Structure 1
Amino acid sequence: MRVVSPLLLASVVSGATVAAFDAAGLQGIIERRLPQHAGKISFSSLQGGGDSFVVREGNSSGTVSVSCTSTSACARGLYTYLTEVGGVDIFWTGSRLHELQTPLPKVTSPITGASIVPYRYHFNTVTFGYTTAFWDFDQWSLLLDWLALRGVNLPLAWVGFESVLIPTLKEYGLSDAEIADFMSGPAFLPWNRFGNIQGSWAGPLPTQWVEDQAVLQKQILARMLELGMTPILPAFTGFVPRAMATHYPNASIADGSNWDGFPTVYTNDSFLDPAEPLFAQIQRTFLTKQQEAWGNITHFYTLDQYNENDPLSGDTAYLASVASGTLASLRAVDPAAVWVMQGWLFFAAEAFWTSERIEAYLGAVPEPDAMLVLDLYAEAQPQWNRTDSYYGKPWVWCQLHNLGGSLGLAGNLPHIFEGPVDALHANGSTMVGVGNTMEGQEPGNEIVYGALLDQAWSAAPLNVSDYVLKRATRRYLLKEVSPELEEAWSIIGTTIFSNQDPDTQMTIRSIIDLPPALSGLTNLTGVIPTKIPYDTNATLQPAVKLLWQAQQKTPSLRAAPEFAFDLVEFTRQLLANRFLELYSALVGVQSSAVSTAHDVATAGAPLVALLADLEALLQTNEQYLFSAWVRDATRWAHGNATYAAYLEYEARNQLTLWGPDGQIDDYASKQWAGLVGGYYAVRWQAFVDALVDAKTTGQAFNATDFSGKMLQLGKTFDTQRWGTQPNETWGTKGDSFEVVGSILERWT
């Protein structure tokens, strides 16, 4: 293995646009999240390299002083004080920082901290579809404060990309109609940016959407900068409308590969060869327009050309020419440009990306400060170790964890704490950061994402038991946790969130939200894992019961929103696991040669009953409302009913059919109230009815016919409008504690 010079690691860091120390941005967090303490916490700059902080008592009585080497380090120092001394925290479900006591808790001795890596990264390109597609700035503001306080300093910033790309394409002669044929709908733009899909099966991307997202991006970037973050902005990738080949017949433009079985009209995106002079010209136009729109605020550019796309050739010389041409186009505009790429391709297409091809592709970027690779799935399928630390390129240890934004509880805290530390100190390592690259971020698994960012500020691996217990104490605003809570979180932390099986440590899928079938649903691993890696009766069930007992003995827990959320979340997972058991029993009865239609109906009834209870449970908490997703989407219509219907279709289709005809149906499924009762329960009732009919007639279950009916059901559901079906309400309904109590009586 190579011994890497420290100068190499320093060089990529020098590529950042380091914001000047900004106390105003830090005071903004205080004004937003704990305004009663405005003026009581001060910030100052420290001399020195890296990111470090010191928290002390202030010069005046009742004040606190945070000194740091960077704005990001000060934000982390503030977070350390708030959590370790103040006992409050901020979560994806909301902030509890405003409950910090008055007067400020004293700092009895200085608190110091330092990041073990220069970069703390957040986001996956597709998070901008699965999670933030319809967010407004209030939602972004909460997440950006969460990121800043955790110490994130290098976030991806994809919003508003089309507002720069569209005028760029127009400048090269493409008409509005030709561009419209290329752009995807709002819920699917990340995959258009990746070159996976083109066009929209819902209709052209509205101009109003493009304009609104540009305004939102300006707000996001301004907040990122004031919080000490360096945004990663997009660059021109080479994916162009098909009409580009007509306008430039002599340019090397080829159609790419098919993606996930989509019809050709919606995939096989055209790709302009980066070796072409036209590529560099368009890149210059794009980056220039982007600087005009957002300012000269970064040297980091995200650019992925082969995300689940096959290169036109496996020839190493060709791959090298693509990489060298791409970098040259960036550095011709920005001499300090850093090309940021997701390393997912090296895992997802491992058969193609041999060591020889990877080395040729990365090796065509000889400058050590010109590229930053995100090892996207390092927690389970790391690529840094098989590529000799990406052949000397600086890289970031990332946690993917979640595919499609599914809700199932899972994680590997031991490896999250140990893996980055081990990789950082591996011989020849060129690791320069850690990051979260979840496809979708759902609050039930927030613990694993926060854990990785916390590990970035500890030279030694954190302790799992200690970590989860301290987090629970802050989460519920307790001085100390009860024996019931301690035992519950000990079980949860050491089983559900300590799963070290790489095949199942991603978010576990429930078969509830997969298309019903007689086979092929259980014990799946990989992209859609349905195998439950723990004994439900020995782990999850007692944990839920202990949480229930804790609030009975400590009624004040009912006032903690995070406790109510956790109780609903773990009960939701318990019901999802129970459903799998009931399904297996139903399949067994159906396959029996001596069973009757009555037997099948009897075995199927509990599945439908459980889904009714699950729907009632989810209705009690605002984090589980399908109506909220729809409302987030349709508010961008500004009262235009036609536009609102378009946006609602986009929102529904992503969660259900994901394509015009179910190309990757239920990949982005969610156990949300309204979706469970209005869609999944309807499918499972139809499945039970079909099995009963098969037994009654003595015929085999017709899987093909049933699949066709489910596709039509999905299309019908996707074109509905919220509020047109019985019992559809926008807000919550029922009491979480009452519903959980009744569920525990029936299903444990």
Structure 2
Amino acid sequence: MYKFVLSFLLAMTWSMSLHANSIKGLLERIDPGCSSKFIIEQKPSDTDYFELDQKGDKVVIRGNNYVSIATGINWYLKYYAGIHLSWNGMTAKLPQVLPPVLKKERRETTMSYRYDFNYCTFSYTMAFWDWERWQKEIDWMALHGINLPLAITGADAVWFNVLKKLGYTKEEINQFIAGPAFQAWWLMNNLEGWGGPNPDSWYEQQEALQKKIIKRMREFGIEPVLPGYSGMVPHNAKSRLGLDVKDPGLWCAYNRPAFLLPTDSRFEEIASLYYEEMNKLYGKANYYSMDPFHEGGNTDGVDLQAAGQAIMKQMKNNNPNAKWVIMTWQANPRPQLIETLKKGDLLIVDLFSESRPQWGEPQSTWARKNGFGQHEWLYGMLLNFGGNVGLHGKMEHVINSFYKAKNYPVFGEKLNGVALTMEGSENNPVMYELLTELPWRNEKFDKDTWLDNYTLARYGKECDEIKQSWRILSNSIYNAPVASTQQGTHESVFCARPSLNVYQVSSWSEMSDYYDPEEVIKAARLMLSVADQFKGNNNFEYDLVDVVRQAIAEKGRLVLKAIKASGQAGENAAYQQLTKRFLDLILLQDELLSTRPEFKVGTWIEMARKKGFTQEEKDLYEWNARVQITTWGNRTASEQGGLRDYAHREWSGMLRDVYYERWKTFFDSGMDPKIDYYAMDEAWTKQTNPYSLSSSDECVEVVKKIFDIVFGD
């Protein structure tokens, strides 16, 4: 008995030390040596909470677990020390003596889950991340209270092992598993093989990377959501394995993987094999994500109730305590799939709550009359589609709609958290900061007051012009109408397929004019008027470039309208002058964005090439990176399937070599409607020319110069 108790105490001590070291490691990564300035205390509680307190000259961060403590650290840094950590700046120099907490502050939340990531995020943003970048992301998650992130890196290694045991050859497996930039849609049962075949080294490094990711998450007490088994099998599984499958049809001209019917005698065998291989590599999880029939998959002839029960049964066979996490999108999940599942076993992520909520909001175009029945759900903010660049949001509405949902009769009782469900991250930091704070603010709050505090934290000091600039932005481009179902940013016309009548870039944008472009230009001018005060401030310079970028994009749209008007009026001289002006704006935008690595195509391509060990591998990964952000797919999928430019990026390098060339060809040809833009884009995807990685040390001066050229009198 004594040995048992001693062993138990040693194990508990080791576990506490491990987690304590994770908090110390977090602080040391922010600012080496700063962990000694804090006292970290863990005290149990029935609800998640953090407290900020003071003992002598040290700041006390207290919480019930290490995610809560990390959230408290971030709250202190923002609202006491004037330090805002963001994706592109996860380090800071803390003051020698920390600002004291003069009165203990406590914040708690009844929102148990703070979820992160869309499947698409793993391709549009993370396709080529290494451990260094992932380490920063996990720190960001902990600091922002995330305790339930999707974790699909390395799922391809699991599938490789499963299919090998089912008798598939390596060549056959690589015809099924997608390439690095397209694995999100493969795992969502949308396509097979596109972007591959992958070299052996890809699976090896992704497996090793996922093991590091999972280990670090668990050190923080973050629960990873691993991809579970939903019935997906290769499209040829009927002929190859004799399985009873459903062909879900095409997705944007690609063959979808087949769906193994739950009545097939081998459903349990294959599901068990899948979980066995997943467990071997990454351990059992308490949460698994399965999204069968995503985005229009044909379910005719499928017993959806039986399918839901079979999927749940196999997950529970693997781990009786596990929960199934499923995302809403269009008709998914079908009510029959989930309505008979046991209360407490399913967690639903309402993917697009800010625009097309399905939780029961009666005004929504995708409303479900009965919501999600007995199942818990999370308020999700999708915000970004395709990783597109641009300011966008529903700032006021996100606040109002969250608290409306929280307090709504019946449906609100099942709301148990928030979810960041962006298709591409590393954009619009103000909106993600807002969403992650919602669970920790029990009462609805004033948007303008919050925004003033945000800018103070983000830039480190008060400035009336900055407040005014952000107030304008929050009431214009960050104030999309409540009823808007626009898919992300108001797209830059520079990135569009040329036409004098062009309005949106991607096929499904649903854009509409909802703000005055002059307001964005005014906000940019205000920021630039005080830019000298903030030289060298990483957050300010990023925002300055982004806001001025948006202003120049607005100017481009206005000039294009003038081009059309001059052409219709037969004013040839004005037409020639304006087309030159438009092309010059594209090049000026390219120069502006070259000042920051976040807006350079070279940064994206370099990440891709770094994943390769041989020249052939590097070229394959670069091709993946280039294709995703231009044609997306082959000619049929791109043109007929509508995927072209879905993931367009207003980036330096692309503006000059892709978008400028399109528009110049268009104008030089006399607006020939038969130009083969797919062929132009495809030629760019096959190149391996290097792009600069260096950025200007004189960011503010470059922005001033360009702004004066574009908007000067």
TM-score if structure 2 supplies the norm length? 0.92
1:369 alignment partner in structure 2: 344
Does 2:669 align with 1:690?
Answer: yes
1:256 alignment partner in structure 2: 248
* Residue 617 of structure 1, CA deviation: 0.4
SS in 1 for 2:111: coil
2:620 alignment partner in structure 1: 646
1:401 alignment partner in structure 2: 383
Distance 2:507 2:685 in 1: 28
The one-letter code of the counterpart of 2:130 is: D
* Residue 483 of structure 1, CA deviation: 2.1
Distance 2:505 2:281 in 1: 46
The one-letter code of the counterpart of 1:267 is: N
Deviations 1:428-482 (A, max 9, x none): 1211110110000133x1110111010111111232112222121122222xx22
1:696 alignment partner in structure 2: none
1:660 to 634, 637, 641: 634
SS in 1 for 2:288: strand
CA contact (8 A) 1:389 1:431 kept: no
Distance 1:680 1:734 in 2: 26
1:3 alignment partner in structure 2: none
1:271 to 259, 263, 268: 259
Structure 2 matches for 1:427-576, cutoff 5 A?
A: 427-429=409-411, 430-443=414-427, 445-478=428-461, 481-501=462-482, 502-504=484-486, 506-519=488-501, 521-522=502-503, 527-537=508-518, 539-552=519-532, 554=533, 557-576=534-553
2:308 to 323, 327, 339: 323
1:698 alignment partner in structure 2: none
The one-letter code of the counterpart of 1:34 is: D
CA contact (8 A) 1:464 1:494 kept: no
Distance 1:166 1:364 in 2: 33
Distance 2:124 2:273 in 1: 30
CA contact (8 A) 2:67 2:146 kept: yes
Does 2:70 align with 1:78?
Answer: no
* Residue 311 of structure 1, CA deviation: 3.0
Distance 1:717 1:109 in 2: 59
SS in 1 for 2:497: coil
2:10 alignment partner in structure 1: none
SS in 2 for 1:381: coil
Deviations 1:635-656 (A, max 9, x none): 0112x11111111110000000
Deviations 1:554-583 (A, max 9, x none): 3xx112011111111111001111111111
The one-letter code of the counterpart of 1:257 is: G
CA contact (8 A) 1:455 1:462 kept: no
Distance 2:321 2:263 in 1: 20
CA contact (8 A) 1:504 1:526 kept: no
1:390 to 372, 391, 397: 372
Does 2:708 align with 1:711?
Answer: no
Distance 2:464 2:99 in 1: 26
The one-letter code of the counterpart of 2:579 is: G
Deviations 1:19-52 (A, max 9, x none): 9793221111111112232223222222321201
1:57 alignment partner in structure 2: 54
Does 2:11 align with 1:36?
Answer: no
Report how many residues are paired: 681
2:217 alignment partner in structure 1: 224
CA contact (8 A) 1:256 1:270 kept: yes
Distance 2:504 2:123 in 1: 28
Distance 2:453 2:52 in 1: 20
Distance 1:505 1:168 in 2: 36
Specify every segment of 5 or more residues in structure 1 that has no aligned partner in the other structure, as ranges. Answer: 1-18, 692-700
Distance 1:247 1:744, change over 3 A: closer
1:720 to 670, 676, 687: 687
CA contact (8 A) 2:82 2:460 kept: yes
* Residue 203 of structure 1, CA deviation: 4.1
Deviations 1:365-395 (A, max 9, x none): 1x11211111000001100113323012111
Distance 1:494 1:599, change over 3 A: closer
TM-score if structure 1 supplies the norm length? 0.88
1:744 alignment partner in structure 2: 707
2:317 alignment partner in structure 1: 332
1:607 to 582, 590, 597: 582
Distance 1:49 1:688 in 2: 66
2:207 alignment partner in structure 1: 214
* Residue 125 of structure 1, CA deviation: 0.5
1:735 to 687, 691, 698: 698
CA contact (8 A) 2:118 2:422 kept: yes
* Residue 170 of structure 1, CA deviation: 1.3
CA contact (8 A) 2:384 2:422 kept: yes
Distance 1:581 1:241 in 2: 49
Distance 2:701 2:16 in 1: 52
2:559 alignment partner in structure 1: 582
The one-letter code of the counterpart of 1:69 is: N
1:138 alignment partner in structure 2: 132
1:10 alignment partner in structure 2: none
The one-letter code of the counterpart of 1:423 is: A
Specify every segment of 5 or more residues in structure 2 that has no aligned partner in the other structure, as ranges. Answer: 1-14, 361-366
CA contact (8 A) 1:256 1:311 kept: yes
* Residue 599 of structure 1, CA deviation: 5.1
CA contact (8 A) 1:503 1:526 kept: no
* Residue 590 of structure 1, CA deviation: 3.4
Distance 1:526 1:533, change over 3 A: farther
Distance 1:490 1:228 in 2: 37
CA contact (8 A) 1:187 1:654 kept: yes
Distance 2:581 2:323 in 1: 56
Distance 2:400 2:481 in 1: 12
* Residue 287 of structure 1, CA deviation: 1.2
* Residue 231 of structure 1, CA deviation: 0.5
Distance 1:364 1:405 in 2: 36
CA contact (8 A) 1:575 1:614 kept: yes
Distance 1:52 1:247 in 2: 53
The answer to which of 658-667 and 208-217 deviates more is: 658-667
Structure 2 matches for 1:301-312, cutoff 5 A?
A: 301-312=288-299
SS in 1 for 2:308: helix
Distance 1:606 1:39 in 2: 56
* Residue 603 of structure 1, CA deviation: 2.9
* Residue 95 of structure 1, CA deviation: 2.3
The one-letter code of the counterpart of 1:62 is: D
* Residue 310 of structure 1, CA deviation: 2.2
* Residue 741 of structure 1, CA deviation: 1.8
Distance 1:535 1:666 in 2: 25
Distance 1:615 1:534 in 2: 24
* Residue 525 of structure 1, CA deviation: 10
